[in-house]
Structure formats: C-alpha cells, structure tokens
Chains A and B, each alone.
Chain A
Amino acid sequence: MKRLKPWLLPTGLYLLCLFLSGATSPPVSPKVHTVEISRMQFNPQVLVVSMGDTIEFVNKDMVTHDVTESSGKSWKSPALASGAKWRLVARKTADYYCSYHPVMKGKIEVK
C-alpha cells in the first residue's frame, strides 16, 4: 500500500474548510445602487448600503450638479452636466450636498 504524501492531509483539510465555509455563508458580491438627481433633489435622499457597494449618481435635471462630501475633504464628483453619471464606492457613512446648489443634501449610510 502506498503511503500518503505528508502534504496531502493539510491541503485536503484546507480545501474542505474552504468548501464548508462557502456552503454555509456564500460570498456577498457588492451591489450597485442608483441615486437619481432630479427636480433639484437626490433620490433617495438617504441610501443605506454595505461596505464596498457602488453608488451611481445620475443627473436627470437640465442644470449641472455635483456630489460633494460635506466636510469637503473626503471626496467630490466632477461637474455632472445633464445626463451625466458618476460612481462612488462606499467606504464609510457620509453626508453630502451639491456645491452648486447647497440646499440639495443627501446621505450615504454604510451598515
């Protein structure tokens, strides 16, 4: 009878663990959410997402907007002309506004 190679046992156990963990909690792939900018509002105004999800902002107004993190230090989109889109990967909860129209405000909540 052939002897088992010594590296086979740990490798087999490792593969078994990988299989079992995959079977019990399948990997969650990041989602893409849409925030529509229309009638001078971010819709939805508050968006709850998971860490790593992507948020796509779509400007459906006739005027230019942007999406600026409230502290002004974290992130800011370029100017979004009518019809333009911009994507952001959610890393942490943030309030944001449109720097052209500061009365327009929104929030991303990372759960």
Chain B
Amino acid sequence: MKIRKSISASAIGLLFGSFMLLSPAVAQDNPTLSDAEVAHTAVTANQIDIDYAKIAQERSKDAEVLKFAETMASDHKAVIDQAVALVTKLGVTPEVNAVSKQLLSDAEKTKEMLRTKTGAAFNKAYIDNEVAYHKAVIAAVEGLLIPESENAELKSLLESIVPALQAHLEHAQMVQKDLNGK
C-alpha cells in the first residue's frame, strides 16, 4: 500500500496557500506522502479545527459564532471517527510527516494569536481564520491528499468530505459578513 510519489515544493506551496508556506525541510526534501501519512495529515487538519472551535467556545459570547464553532467541533469529529474506522479496517497506522508537522506548528501560532483576543476582536479573528483555513484545507485535500491517496477507500473518504468543507467555508463567510455588519 505504501507508495511514494514526488510532489513539487511549488505545487505544495500553492495548494496550502498563505497559511502554509512550507518549511525549508518540506520544500527542499521533495516530500512524498504514503497513505499512512495522508491519513495522519487528514486527521491532524480536522483536529486543528476542533481545537479552534474549543477556543471559540471558551472565549466568544456571540450566538452565531458559538453555533458555528459547535458545528465545526461536531462535524470534524465525525470525519475523524470515519478516518479512524477506515485506517483500523485497513490495518494502517497514521504516520507523522512533514506536512502534518507543519500544520500543527502553524496551528500553535494561530491558537496563541486567538488567545490574545477578546470580544468582537476575537470573533473577527476566529471567523477570518476559519475562512482562510477552510480555503486552504479544501485546496490541500483536493490538490494533495486525494491525488496522493493510493487506497480507493481512503481516496473515497477524502472525496466525500469536500462538500462538508465547502459548506463550512460558505457558513464561515456568512458569519463573517454578519460580523462585519455589526
């Protein structure tokens, strides 16, 4: 199952957009992703958004922001549960890799930034980040994780989560518009 493909650093940089300008280690080592690494990256990306949602639930008092955060926590947990069920069935152990490490590293910085904000400034920062994050994750899933997946069931699972990510993005943009109007 473990198949390795080369992907160009420029392509990855493009896919992950502004939030994930890959570290020199990722960019210069001509990274490759096995199915175990794709699975780890997918689970990591979902867990990061759950973590953002938890911060929102702690810091926001805005009903619309709280409802959005609740949906993010619930939906991304459902995706992780499906991914874990699949890798368990396939006998694959998700592997830490340069891409998932970079995602975690960037997420730590974002979480630190969010924790410095309160009130309307927090709501704006959280929702702005959700818009940017979902754009980047959609690009990464469609342009990197799906093409890199060797196993058909893993590929199918990744394809099935794109509509949810798209709905999250549109929902975040809706909340963003409402917040800007307040």
Given A63-B74, A64-B74, residue A104 in contact with residue B167 (CB < 8 A): yes
A104 to B163, CA, bound (A): 11
**Which of A16-24, A27-35, A50-58, A95-103 lies at the interface?**
A95-103
**Identity of the chain A residue whose Cβ is nearest the Cβ of B169 in the assembled complex:** A103
**Given A40-B163, A101-B167 in contact, is the A63-B174 Cβ separation under 8 Å?**
no
Query: Do residues B164 and A103 form an inter-chain contact, with CB atoms below 8 A?
Result: no
- Using a CB–CB cutoff of 8 Å, the interface residues on chain A facing chain B are 39-41, 61-64, 82, 99-104
Q: Which residue of B lies closest to A100 (CB)?
A: B71
In the complex, A61→B75 CA distance in Å?
10
Indicate whether A102 sits within 8 Å of B78 (C-beta atoms), given known contacts A39-B163, A61-B164, A63-B164. Answer: no
User: Given A62-B79, A62-B82, is A102 in contact with B164 using a C-beta cutoff of 8 Å?
Assistant: no
* B160 with A62: CB separation less than 8 A: yes
How does the 8 Å CB contact mask read for B21-42 relative to A, with 1 for contact and 0 for none?
0000000000000000000000
Partner of B78, one of A40, A62, A103: A62
Establish whether residues A64 and B78, one from each chain, have CB atoms under 8 Å apart when the complex forms.
yes
Q: Does B88 reach chain A (CB closer than 8 Å)?
A: no
Whether the pair A40, B82 counts as a contact (CB closer than 8 A) is no
Give the residue name and chain of the A residue nearest to B162 (CB).
Answer: A39
User: Which B residues touch A41, using CB under 8 A?
Assistant: 163
Contacts of A100 in B (CB 8 A): 71, 74-75
Shortest CB-to-CB span from A76 to chain B, Å, is 14
Q: List 9 A-B contacts (CB under 8 A).
A: A40-B163, A41-B163, A62-B164, A63-B74, A63-B75, A64-B78, A99-B67, A100-B71, A102-B174
Task: Decide if A103 touches B170 in the complex (CB within 8 Å).
Answer: yes
Q: Which B115-173 residues have a C-beta within 8 angstroms of A?
A: 160-161, 163-164, 166-168, 170-171
Contacts of B166 in A (CB 8 A): 40
- Say yes or no: B163 contacts A102, CB within 8 Å: no
Contacts of B75 in A (CB 8 A): 63-64, 100
Which of B82, B160, B167 meets A103, CB within 8 Å? B167
Interchain CA distance A40-B75 in the complex, whole Å: 12
Taken residue by residue from 67 to 110, chain B's Cβ proximity to chain A (1 for < 8 Å, 0 otherwise) reads as: 10001001100110010000000000000000000000000000
Specify which chain B residues have a CB less than 8 angstroms from the CB of A61 in the assembled complex: 164
> Which chain A residues lie closer than 8 Å to B171 at the CB level?
101-103
A101 touches B78 (CB 8 A): no
Q: What is the bound-complex CA distance between A82 and B78, given in angstroms?
A: 9
- Nearest CB in chain A: distance from B80 CB, A: 10
